[in-house]
Amino acid sequence: MAATSDWKAIGAQKKQSILDKIPPEWRLPAETLAAAHEDAEIDVTGIPRECGILTADEITITESYDATALLAKLAAGGYTSLAVTTAFCKRAAIANQLTNCLTETFFDEALERAKYLDEYLAANKKTVGPLHGLPISIKDSFNYIGQETTLGFVSFVGGKTVAKEHSALVKMLLDLGAVLYIKSNIPQTLMTADSENHVFGRTLNPHKLTLTAGGSSGGEGAVVGIRAAVLGVGTDVGGSIRVPALCCGTYGFRPSASRIPYGGQGSPGRAGSPGVLAAAGPLATSFRDVRLFMETVLGQQPWKYDHTVLHAPWRQLSSSAPKILTIGLLPIDPAFPIHPPMRRALDSAISKLKAAGHTIVPLGYVPSIAVANREIAEYYSLDPIITPFKNIEASGEPQIRSVAESPFLSKRLGKLDMDDLYTLNATRTQCMAAWHKIWTTTGIDVILGPVCETTAMPHDTFGNTPYTTLYNYLDYPSLVIPHLKADKEIDVGDGFISYKGYNAEKTHGAPTGVQVAARPQFDEELLDAAEIISEVLKA
Amino acid sequence: MAATSDWKAIGAQKKQSILDKIPPEWRLPAETLAAAHEDAEIDVTGIPRECGILTADEITITESYDATALLAKLAAGGYTSLAVTTAFCKRAAIANQLTNCLTETFFDEALERAKYLDEYLAANKKTVGPLHGLPISIKDSFNYIGQETTLGFVSFVGGKTVAKEHSALVKMLLDLGAVLYIKSNIPQTLMTADSENHVFGRTLNPHKLTLTAGGSSGGEGAVVGIRAAVLGVGTDVGGSIRVPALCCGTYGFRPSASRIPYGGQGSPGRAGSPGVLAAAGPLATSFRDVRLFMETVLGQQPWKYDHTVLHAPWRQLSSSAPKILTIGLLPIDPAFPIHPPMRRALDSAISKLKAAGHTIVPLGYVPSIAVANREIAEYYSLDPIITPFKNIEASGEPQIRSVAESPFLSKRLGKLDMDDLYTLNATRTQCMAAWHKIWTTTGIDVILGPVCETTAMPHDTFGNTPYTTLYNYLDYPSLVIPHLKADKEIDVGDGFISYKGYNAEKTHGAPTGVQVAARPQFDEELLDAAEIISEVLKA
């Protein structure tokens, strides 16, 4: 273990070793670098296109396709995987210099694999699998053989977390033909909406560097938000896919627990938690790529890779014809009023959906969202030895601000006993049963509501996420659909409600969105409905 | 609450109230009753046929059909539901007098419902549902409106457990057209293989009254074993469906957890347990009735009735053609040698399966069965206030012998803390992962092994059930297939191994069987394989 005085040096050295791997010709000019910092109120999403590092083809590859379209090109030989992988490696290197979104990079290995895939396609006249040649980004928590899984803990640096086995999902993606090339940044402990740690520093929002990229899959949000990948994989136990998706303007899907392989990841916490299950899921630039991810992974029989995956094949629902939806509208909890830009995004969605002929059913009484949010914080706080804090303390590094001020941990952190757990579980079951009654009595297809009270906030001020934790508490599959952007001219509020920390000027330009959710293992029904909703919102 | 001196009277009064509901013409002669007691080494399965209470038609109805065949008759109008329900009510009354297998009876209500169903069929020329008119027996733990769910606790008698709502599964079975008429006996606490309590007394094995009918669904085992029902529903968190099925010579299936609605039952324990999940499932007189139960319940979208049910529709597997199975053979744990009759049943099954061309793969190393058995006892022991014991103490009644001597509870009963639970969960996950590797590396279709060390034992000596708890620990769907009977002339042992409590003379005549199991949510694959195995064993 490092002496406590060493933690800064260890972190800095690790971070530098990643930056050092960027080839000189992929490096941004000094003045661009100097301008890209967490106090710079700038949108950097255009820089990859403008910086001169990418060729015209590489700009087209990274900006003009989603994963579905790129895969079609790749399979047809329209692009080689080498060309596509090169383009995304370069863009990822640029993105990292601008937003600090990456932890590990393995560009050389990725390019080697791309060459192999190209040769395979040429020799066999068929693809390795449905993800043939596509670069996919993964959150740092996934193990990739030969790479460290430090999770941003200084105490995890130094070789002991170098993966000897791929995570189950990583192995699957490779078997499906994907190319992996980067791992993305996360917050210390993975339990905040600010992806900052003392190894890699803070991930910035590509739409405005002064804002958070969200967390815990904040690096992934930035990567997909700046199109350094068109498909990324995060994990979510309280909003960790959906908050970054919201903040960075991407689609983000938390599937029902245990449908996508979660096994074989590094963890900031302790094995054996009896708490709420985390889920892995995609961040994407198009709705159809969310479906692509789910159908491709489920089509590969993930239960062969991971014993924790439900043996529940993806169900192709029979009704493919457009249909009229009955959409339950989640009431806003008075304890958590949504900020004007989020209100406008939601109102716009409601208007458009009504105009398109869908039925909006405001749900009257629902079990308290605030109580669910409080209860889930207790679940996060069960570990009596508070392992994530031990992992911080092991190097002498301090807690990051968003951990020290976390709204996600109970005051009884580490002190809850078996009696408390019985009570928590019984309360949760009652809540699930009450919600179940709402579904069966109202006949709604999905629930529409906000993603969070706010979209991207200035660093370290995001706070709580009651509208995402609700669905972790209920184990509801839930999808963020990007919709509109915060606008300081319009989103001024009504003057009556005080929105905690909201500043129209500071938030201006941040993406906004809405969230749709369904019952556990109704992922298929959710995506069918969300496809319709997504089309309506785009129209 | 009753004074402690009253518990015997309260129990006796409750039991008498049930017996009083038997119409005089359904009562057995005094000499038959006098001969039917727990020290009588007699087989009573023939008495319903011989006692003169059932008409020839009623004997045919109750003895010549399984549920599948009866349903066909009922739907075609070959029998009225009234005739069938009358036959099974009478047989249940007889069975209860012989084996003490029932808790609640509601014959009048059942006959009224049967009449309604007959009228419905006559008027509409169609059935109410796929279970139209079929009497189904349920374990006492299921709530049925208007009936008590005492679970054999004296403290639960007196009106406070009268159900105001049906259990989710009860509601489903009624919606599917079934007729419910009886609830069946269980052990105090539901945690032993001896279905005895101080309200209803002890259930006796219809094949030999000196032997246990098994537990905790022991009443259900006796009911189906004596054909007082051709289809019954039990619950299983350690073998509670499978042990009675074994002891009473029926099929018994513990599905994967959360596939059959479990919600809305009475419980001896406390809500909110973070331990192993219990499952509801069928006891049946034929293999195809097990399939009938699963397909019918899953076909009714049980997730509409119970929020805890997985949204995983029954999968109709494509390969309906006979196929050659690769069957993994579970090694016998040296700590739990199986008694000669069980050995013979297993050896016979292996020989027949080999002769039929199937491949038997002895599994070499498997994670310790003894450790799994020890670990699950810890899960059973988590509740810090030991609610089942509180429910015993509340009336002043003593523990029954098999509870007092229970091998299913940890020495740390009520003393395990959160730290222990993390460790338990982590160990369990490791065990599941190790087993997962066995499946993926060997390519086996199912696992074949013993149900228990022993078949039905003299009362209060059954003890532990490591070969059933294993599959609760792993959440493997597991089916008991009845096969052969204990024979004192053959099952004499080899003279080298001492079988705890085995006495060839005493066990003579008890049914034996084997157990097949598959991975979680592979219920469909398991039944497809078990159908083949079941046919081979019958041949």
Contact B403, B462 (CB under 8 A): no
CATH number (domain holding residue B297) = 3.90.1300.10
Is residue A375 assigned to a domain?
Answer: no
Given the residues B81, B216, B256, B381, select the one marked as catalytic.
B216
- Does B505 fall in a domain? no
Q: Give B519 to chain A, closest Cα distance, Å.
A: 9
**In this complex, do B519 and A311 lie within 8 Å of one another by their Cβ atoms?**
yes
Q: For residue B155, indicate whether it is catalytic.
A: no
Residue among B300, B418, B527 with most chain A CBs within 10 A, to mutate: B418
Nearest Cβ partner for B522 among A263, A311, A416: A311
Amino acid B341 reads P
Q: At what angle do helices A523-538 and A340-355 cross, to 10 degrees?
A: 90
Cα–Cα distance for residue pair A346/A484, rounded to 1 Å: 10
Q: What angle do CA B484, B485, B491 make, to 5 degrees?
A: 110
Among chain A residues, the shortest Cα distance to B433 is held by A307
State both tokens at B105: 């009876």
Closest Cα to residue B355, out of B397, B314, B324?
B324
Within a domain: A76 = yes
Distance in angstroms (rounded) separating the CA atoms of residues A269 and A265: 11
Indicate the pTM of the whole model.
0.97
- Summarised one tens digit per residue, pLDDT across range A255-300 is 999 999 999 999 999 999 999 999 999 999 999 999 999 999 999 9
Measured CA to CA, the distance from residue B205 to residue B222 in angstroms comes to: 6
Sign of CA dihedral B529, B532, B538, B539: negative
From residue B251, how far is each of A313, A394, B243 by CA, in Å?
28, 56, 10
Active site residue B267: no
* Contacts for B74 with CB less than 8 Å, ≥ 6 apart: B80, B81, B84, B127, B132, B133, B134
Output the tens digit of pLDDT for each of chain B's 539 residues: 445 569 999 999 999 999 999 999 999 999 999 999 999 999 999 999 999 999 999 999 999 999 999 999 999 999 999 999 999 999 999 999 999 999 999 999 999 999 999 999 999 999 999 999 999 999 999 999 999 999 999 999 999 999 999 999 999 999 999 999 999 999 999 999 999 999 999 999 999 999 999 999 999 999 999 999 999 999 999 999 999 999 999 999 999 999 999 999 999 999 999 999 999 999 999 999 999 999 999 999 999 999 999 999 999 987 665 689 999 999 999 999 999 999 999 999 999 999 999 999 999 899 999 999 999 999 999 999 999 999 999 999 999 999 999 999 999 999 999 999 999 999 999 999 999 999 999 999 999 999 999 999 999 999 999 999 999 999 999 999 999 999 999 999 877 777 878 999 999 999 999 999 999 999 999 999 999 999 999 98
Contacts of A416 in chain B (CB under 8 A): 418
Smallest CA–CA distance, residue A464 to chain B, in Å, is 26
Q: What are phi and psi of A202, to 5 degrees?
A: -110, 135
In-domain check, residue B511: no
Known catalytic residue: B216?
A: yes
B311/A521 touch (CB, cutoff 8 Å), yes or no: yes
Selecting among B14, B139, B171, B183, the annotated active-site residue is B139
Find all residues with CB under 8 Å of A398, minimum gap 6, and list them: A198, A392, A404
A329 lies in a domain? yes
Q: Which residues of A touch B418 (CB under 8 A)?
A: 382-384, 416-418, 421
Residue A207 lies in a domain: yes
Record the tokens describing residue A86, joined without a space.
């090169």
Tokens 């709502």 belong to which residue?
B165
Active-site annotation holder among B195, B240, B286, B381 = B240
Instruction: Please give the order of strands across the beta sheet that includes A251-254.
Output: A102-105, A179-184, A135-139, A231-236, A279-284, A251-254, A478-485, A511-517, A446-449, A326-329, A359-362
Domain membership flag for residue A52:
yes
What's the domain count of chain B? 1
Asked if A417 and B419 come within 8 Å (Cβ–Cβ), the reply is: no
Closest Cα to residue A80, out of A23, A120, A43? Answer: A120
DSSP string, A53-112: -S-HHHHHHHHS--HHHHHHHHHHTSS-HHHHHHHHHHHHHHHHHHH--EEEE-HHHHHH
Chain A contact set for B274 (CB, 8 A)? 274, 421-422, 425
Structure tokens at A115: 């060459």
Write out the two tokens for B183.
């609830």
Which of B418, B426, B436 comes nearest A418 by C-beta? B418
Cis-peptide into B286, omega within 30 deg: no
Question: How does DSSP classify residue B387?
Answer: H
Is B102 a domain residue? Answer: yes
pLDDT in tens, B349-404: 999 999 999 999 999 899 999 999 999 999 999 999 999 999 999 999 999 999 99
Asked if A522 and B311 come within 8 Å (Cβ–Cβ), the reply is yes
Cβ-nearest to A419 among B313, B315, B384:
B384
Question: Which DSSP letter does residue B166 get?
Answer: -
Phi and psi, residue A506, nearest 5°: -70, -35
Which residue range(s) make up the domain with B63? 4-368+441-481+520-538
